[in-house]
Chains A and B, each alone.
Chain A
Amino acid sequence: AQKVTQAQTEISVVEKEDVTLDCVYETRDTTYYLFWYKQPPSGELVFLIRRNSFDEQNEISGRYSWNFQKSTSSFNFTITASQVVDSAVYFCALRANAGKSTFGDGTTLTVKP
């Protein structure tokens, strides 16, 4: 069985603050992929990043960075110098041999000006 837990339901920060969104996952598969998606107020989910289970190298893309740690089954997402446009619901997802992607319950991020 697969499970993704996003313990933070809502986070509110002031613009320019850094914020980290937590994601913890469970799977018995040794081969799997982890994803982050963003759901802006318009509703359509947008892919942000994916990581496979054999690649623990962290990644930085502009103000976004991801920290994958197999030892703690975590795949956390950090936004540096947050902006109002970052306000959205962020979903962490796991895809293993079952084929389907299992999503966490999402974290609603509000960035205030």
Chain B
Amino acid sequence: NAGVMQNPRHLVRRRGQEARLRCSPMKGHSHVYWYRQLPEEGLKFMVYLQKENIIDESGMPKERFSAEFPKEGPSILRIQQVVRGDSAAYFCASSPPGHLGEKLFFGSGTQLSVL
């Protein structure tokens, strides 16, 4: 049973370009979460999605950032017109539907570097 798959592992973009980060949750998991980890900092919640629905996007910057989790295919975190401050590790996690105590399964992360 494959774990949470994130790609690419490393992504380099120049300022002003777009970054697309992909996350395929574990089989049977319908809940996806995106977190951002800046150097020397903890994990900051960005967005919580279920299939075709955004449940909580309270951690997403209001501009340039968007996320989706379509009925078919991976979840996508999209960052438009990237700036140097977007450089960070972006982690995706998934959990099955169920109760509050479900643990999160994390991917290996995408390291975004903005030149």
Chain A residues in the interface with B (C-beta under 8 A): 6, 31-33, 35, 37, 42-47, 50, 52, 91, 95-106
B42 touches A32 (CB 8 A): no
Size range of the chain B interface in the assembly: 20 to 34
Whether, in the assembled complex, B81 has its beta carbon less than 8 Å from a beta carbon of chain A, the answer is: no
A99 touches B56 (CB 8 A): yes
B33 touches A100 (CB 8 A): yes
Interface SS of chain B = strand
A101 to B50, CA, bound (A): 15
A98 to B109, CA, bound (A): 24
Cβ-defined partner of A52 (8 Å) among B41, B101, B106, B108: B101
Map CB proximity to A onto B26-48 as digits: 1 under 8 Å, 0 otherwise. 00000001010000011111001
> Are A44 and B101 CB-contacts (below 8 A) given A103-B45, A106-B42?
no
Chain B residues in the interface with A (C-beta under 8 A): 33, 35, 41-45, 48, 55-56, 58-59, 89, 91, 93, 100-101, 103-109
Max chain B Cβ within 10 angstroms of own Cβ: one of A32, A45, A46: A45
A50 touches B103 (CB 8 A): yes
A46 to B104, CA, bound (A): 9
B89 touches A102 (CB 8 A): no
B42 touches A104 (CB 8 A): yes
Instruction: Report A69 CB to chain B, min CB distance, Å.
Output: 19
A102 touches B100 (CB 8 A): no
Instruction: Report B104 CB to chain A, min CB distance, Å.
Output: 6
A45 touches B91 (CB 8 A): yes
> Cβ of B48: which chain A residues have Cβ within 8 Å of it?
99-100
B104 touches A96 (CB 8 A): no
The 7 closest A-B pairs by CB, nearest first: A105-B42, A45-B106, A103-B43, A47-B103, A33-B101, A44-B108, A106-B42
